[in-house]
Amino acid sequence: MKRTTRFDWDGHLERTPYNKVLRDMHGTRCIIPTMFSPDRSQVYLKSLDVAYRTDDIGGLTGALAEILDNLRRAVALMTWSCERVHLCEVDYLTVWGILYNADALPDGYIYPEHYLEQAWRECADRDRAGEAAGG
């Protein structure tokens, strides 16, 4: 059965300042997200807690590699929470898109999900190897 609501959630988010939405969550772990400045000249990457100019190709290329390394570590060390993995995935896809639009992707970055899929496959392979070894 499909649950319905009469509350206009989209309209609420359009009319309500984001800080108020966060404050109204009372005690949850809601955080400031990855986001662009209003003129899109800068991007704040939550997983790294740093901002880059969107035309800083060198900095963003380095950030892409750092985010991917962090993602792989987050997937490998993941126990009960996927929050860190999610933050890395969002930032990775954000930076990938900026570099793609600037025609500045590093060699080997085939499509945005390629390395994300690879990290998850490596994790699944480790799990299968652990199960096969009896652990």
C-alpha to C-alpha distance for 37 and 82, rounded to whole angstroms: 27
What pLDDT sits at residue 120? 79
Q: How confident is the model at residue 76 (pLDDT cuts 50, 70, 90)?
A: confident
Q: Where are the domains of the chain?
A: 36-132
Pair of tokens at residue 22: 């966060």
- Higher-confidence position of 64 and 31: 64
- The C-alpha angle with vertex 78 and arms to 77 and 79, in degrees rounded to 5, equals 115
C-alpha to C-alpha distance for 77 and 55, rounded to whole angstroms: 33
Element (H, E) at 67: helix 57-77
C-alpha to C-alpha distance for 37 and 43, rounded to whole angstroms: 6
Residue-wise pLDDT for 77-118, tens only, equals 776 568 888 888 999 999 999 999 999 998 888 788 888 888
What pLDDT sits at residue 28? 66
